Amino acid sequence: VWRLLMLLLFGGWILMWVMRPTSAYSKFWQSFTKDTTTKAYGVAGSFTLFYSAPVVILAVVGAIYLQLSKDDSTRRRDGVRVNPFSFPAVVRGPLAVASAAELTCLVLFVALLVWTLSEYLSTKFAKITPAYLHKHQLKLWERKLEMVGTNLGLVGIVCLAFLFFPVARGSVFLRLLNVPFEHAIKYHIWIGHIMMVIWTVHGLVFVIFWAVTGKMTELVQWKKTEISGLSGLFVYIIGVIMWMTSLGPVRKKKFELFYYTHQLYIVFILTFALHVGDRLFCAVVGGILLFLLNRFLRFIQSRRIVDVLSARMMSSETMELTIAKHPSLAYNPASFIMVNFPVVSPLQWHPFTIVSSSKVDTEHLSLLIKCYGGWTLTLKEYLKNADTSHIVEAAVEGPYGHDMSYVARYDVLIFVAGGSGISPFISIIKELLYDIENQKVLAPEEIILLWAVKKSDDLSVLQLITPDFASRFKIDVQVYVTREDGPELEKPQTTASTIIFSTRKSQPRSISGSEGIQNGILHAALVLASSAGFLFVIGILERFVVYPVDHNTSDLFSRSLGGLFGYIATVIGVVVFGGGTLALWNR
Choose the final residue of a domain: 481, 511, 541: 511
Which of 462, 482, 511 terminates a domain? The answer is: 511
Nearest Cα residue to 577 out of 541, 534, 538, 539: 534
Kindly state whether residues 494 and 533 are assigned to the same domain: no
Over residues 159-199, the pLDDT tens digits come to 999 999 999 988 899 988 888 888 899 999 999 999 999 99
Domain end residue (candidates: 511, 527, 557) = 511
**pLDDT confidence band for 74 (50 / 70 / 90):** very low
Residue 270, pLDDT score: 97
Are 344 and 470 found together in one domain?
Answer: yes
**Cis peptide bond prior to 399, omega within 30° of 0:** yes
Q: Is residue 576 part of a domain?
A: yes
The number of folded domains in the chain is: 2
What's the burial of 124, exposed, middle or buried (CB within 10 Å: 0-12/13-18/19+)? Answer: middle
Residue 545 reports pLDDT greater than 90: yes
Per DSSP (E only), the strands in 419-572 are 446-453, 475-481, 497-500
- Give me the domain span that covers residue 559: 1-82+281-302+517-587
- Characterise 173 by phi-psi region: left (phi > 0), alpha (psi -120 to 50), beta (else): alpha
Give yes or no for a contact between 400 and 337, defined as CB atoms under 8 angstroms apart: yes
In DSSP notation, 244-305 reads: HHHSHHHHHH-HHHHHHHGGGHHHHHHHHHHHHHHHHHHHHHHHHHHHHHHHHHHHHHHT-E
CA angle 150, 152, 153 (to 5 degrees): 65
Spatial contact of 452 and 482, defined as CB atoms under 8 Å apart: yes
The angle that helices 53-68 and 265-302 make with each other, rounded to 10 degrees, is 20
- List 480's β-bridge partners, or say none: 452
Whether residues 320 and 440 fall in one domain: yes
Task: Judge whether 398 lies within some domain.
Answer: yes
Is the predicted pLDDT of residue 546 greater than 50, yes or no? Answer: yes
Average pLDDT over residues 38-62: 94
Same domain, 294 and 313: no
Residue 146 located in a structural domain: no
Give the total residue count for the chain.
587
- Residues 470 and 583 reside in one and the same domain: no
Average confidence (pLDDT) over 290-318: 89
Q: What is the pLDDT of residue 73?
A: 46
Question: Which are the contacts of 176, defined by CB distance < 8 A and separation ≥ 6?
Answer: 6, 62, 65, 66
* 484-485-488-492 Cα dihedral, nearest 10 degrees: 90
Give the bridge partners for 369, in sequence order.
319
3-state helix, strand, coil in the chain (%, to 5): 60, 15, 30
125-159 pLDDT, tens per residue?
Answer: 999 999 999 998 999 999 999 999 999 999 999 99
Task: Report the percentage of the chain scoring pLDDT > 70.
Answer: 93
Same domain (yes/no): 401, 446: yes
- How much is the pLDDT for 77? 54
Kindly tell me the sign of the dihedral angle through the C-alpha atoms of 427, 432, 435, 436.
negative
| Residue 441 falls inside a structural domain | yes
Strands 446-453 and 475-481: parallel
Least confident of 80-89, 370-379, 555-564: 80-89
Higher pLDDT, 473 or 235: 235
Is residue 561 assigned to a domain?
Answer: yes
pLDDT digits (tens, 9 = 90+) for 202-231: 999 999 999 999 999 999 999 888 899 999
Q: Are 233 and 219 in contact (CB under 8 A)?
A: yes
Instruction: Give the predicted TM-score (pTM) of the model.
Output: 0.90
Whole-number Å distance between alpha carbons of 557 and 550: 5
Residues 577 and 557 in one domain: yes
Once rounded to an integer, what is the mean pLDDT over residues 104-129?
94
Are 571 and 292 a contacting pair, CB within 8 Å? yes
Same domain, 417 and 524: no
* CA–CA separation, 584 and 587 (whole Å): 5
Q: What is the CATH number of the domain that holds 339?
A: 2.40.30.10
If you ran DSSP here, which 8-state letter would residue 325 be given?
Answer: B
Distance CA 524, CA 293 (A): 11
pLDDT at 75: 52
Looking at the fold, whether 339 and 287 belong to one and the same domain comes out as no
* pLDDT value at 558 more than 80: yes
pLDDT at 518 over 90: no
Q: What is the pLDDT of residues 426-468, one digit of tens each?
A: 999 888 888 888 888 888 888 899 999 888 888 888 888 766 6
Whether residue 501 is contained in a domain is answered as yes
Residue 7 lies inside a defined structural domain of this protein: yes
Which pLDDT does position 446 carry in this prediction?
85
Query: Is there a single domain that holds both residue 496 and residue 558?
Result: no
| 159/279 Cα distance (integer angstroms) | 17
Q: How many other β-carbons are positioned within 10 Å of the β-carbon of residue 324?
A: 20
Residue 565 has pLDDT above 50, yes or no: yes
What pLDDT digit, counting tens, does each position of 312-368 carry? 888 778 888 999 988 888 889 999 999 999 988 888 899 999 999 888 888 889 999
The average confidence (pLDDT) of the chain is 88
- Residue 293, domain member (yes or no): yes
Sequence-ordered alpha helix ranges (H) in 37-163: 42-47, 53-68, 100-125, 130-136, 140-163
Supply the DSSP symbol for 502. B
Binned at pLDDT 50, 70 and 90, residue 500 comes out as confident
Measured CA to CA in angstroms, residue 52 lies from 12, 49, 403, 559, 575 at distances of 12, 6, 28, 20, 19
Q: Are residue 457 and residue 387 in the same domain, yes or no?
A: yes
Q: Does 486 lie in the same domain as 348? A: yes
Instruction: Give the residue among 382, 305, 299, 237 at the shortest CA–CA distance from 578.
Output: 299
